[in-house]
Structure 1
């Protein structure tokens, strides 16, 4: 069957002497894998279009698990991301997260739009950690684990939040803190930002000025919640954590 899709390259790996296998994520068809024959050759017309993060127009034939790329035209190469270690590290995290969580040929127009907007935001020098959190929360919601951020998950009342319990799946008020000794304390400002991450469309993201201490607290909360409910081990996140550890 012949396909023509606008897609983002979320994975690209060498295959044989001159080929590449690409994983494309498209708006209507979801995730699909194709072989770009000869893409590693210097003069290949498919070489640039097979690079990670590229957004393009792809035509390919697919009869089994793996398609064969016939034609590709680049719409947005996201050069600034690939040329910057920090941008590339954060974009790789979002790409791997998408690859690992999405099923094959599972169309998700909203998530496609969110990934494309996230890459655009990183390219435009918006705070990459904030972009990460927004997109990760969208993927947590896709997996069915959206945190309860309005009512206390202990007493089910609309009380002032005191902490976030990853295990119980939402906020706890002061009175219910004993229900989860591992719950992470949150301030009203952090609570407001968490609600923003759940509700906000990445396409509407402007510049957000977040203090370093707040960024650290948000990172701990989002990663703890993700690890508790989704639990995927991601190489790209390990790399980000190494960069953070050594101040790269």
Structure 2
């Protein structure tokens, strides 16, 4: 088990829990090493200097030692801030927890450092007041490739036609144009507005979003569609999703 000392990395604090009487285990999504659990000693001691840097939804630059398999260690936090709205708003907190939980499941295979920026951008947009449900949908669509589910959302999977009316086929792994709907009677029978946003979300760059607003009906349809795709083709469970589903019922 190798321990890489003196490493500098950017990170987002995901969660933390008490360990023994005075210590804590802190889970951080890092830009270079993926999800790592850090052992932080002496949290309960008077004068502990790292308190703000290990709060959930803190983010910034850290120095530490990274273990390939076991616990890692934080030596010194640098330039650490916090997503304040995510920390204070229970609904935003739930969306952030779901995105991070989904990311942890998605990165269990092979971690790609470019995904850290995607997750950071998503949490930042939610913290700034962008619709958390829409940002979450974008992440869900883009995470599909990490789970080995790479639906063709650009063209018809049969004839590669890029314009016209489409529907989503789980059997064929992507879009079917209207000419080929007959091939899958069990296609999802989606309205074209939902299809439009699925296609858009698969290619959108989060760092370039200035505003985004969807009608309530479209948001409901996207939620149902992505739930179906994740249930049938991905099959992962993230604890925060249950709370999001409960919140959706509150707003009915």
| TM-score normalized with structure 1 length | 0.89
| Distance across 2 between alignment mates of 1:217 and 1:122 | 21
Range 219-228 or range 39-48, more displaced: 39-48
Q: Report the CA distance between 1:93 and its aligned residue.
A: 0.5
Structure 1 residues 20-39: Cα deviation after superposition (integer angstroms, max 9, x where no partner): 21222222222222111223
Structure 1, unmatched stretches of 5+, are none
1:146 paired to 2:150: yes
Structure 2: segments with no counterpart, 5+ residues: none
SS at match of 2:27: strand
1:79 maps onto 2:98 in alignment: no
Q: Which moved more, 1:112-121 or 1:51-60?
A: 51-60
1:148–1:170 CA contact under 8 A, matched in 2: yes
Give the aligned partner of residue 65 of structure 2: 61
Q: TM-score if structure 2 supplies the norm length? A: 0.87
Alpha-carbon deviation of 1:245? 1.8
Matches within 5 A, 1:213-232: 213-232=217-236
Considering only aligned residues, what root-mean-square deviation do their CA atoms show, in Å? 2.3
CA distance in 2, matches of 1:241, 1:40: 36
| Cα distance in 1 between the residues matched to 2:80 and 2:111 | 20
SS class of match (1:185): coil
**Cα distance change on mapping 1:160 and 1:41 into 2, 3 Å:** farther
Q: 1:69-109: CA deviations, max 9, x gaps?
A: 222235321111110111111011111111222138x5523
- 1:101 maps to 106
Where 1:150 maps in the other structure, the secondary structure is strand
Q: More deviation in 122-131 or 142-151?
A: 142-151
Decide whether the 8 Å contact of 2:53 with 2:81 is kept in 1.
Answer: no
Quickly say closer, same or farther: Cα 1:70–1:161, change in 2 above 3 A: same
Q: Please point out which of 130, 134, 137 is paired with 1:133.
A: 137
Q: Is the Cα–Cα contact under 8 Å of residues 27 and 109 in structure 1 kept in the other structure? A: yes
The 2-side partners of 1:157 and 1:194 are apart by: 17
Q: Give the drift of 1:133.
A: 1.1
Shift of 1:140: 0.9
1:100 and 1:11 map into 2 onto residues whose CA distance is: 15
Aligned to 1:44: 48
1:90-143 alpha-carbon deviations (Å, 9 max, x no partner) = 011111111222138x55232111111111100110010111011122211223
Q: State whether structure 2 residue 196 is matched by structure 1 residue 192.
A: yes
- Asked whether the equivalents of residues 106 and 146 of structure 2 are also in contact (C-alpha less than 8 Å), the reply is no
Q: Work out which of the residue numbers 208, 212, 215 in structure 1 matches 2:212.
A: 208
In the comparison of the two structures, how many residue pairs are matched? 246
Distance 1:62 1:78 in 2: 24
Residue equivalent to 1:33: 37
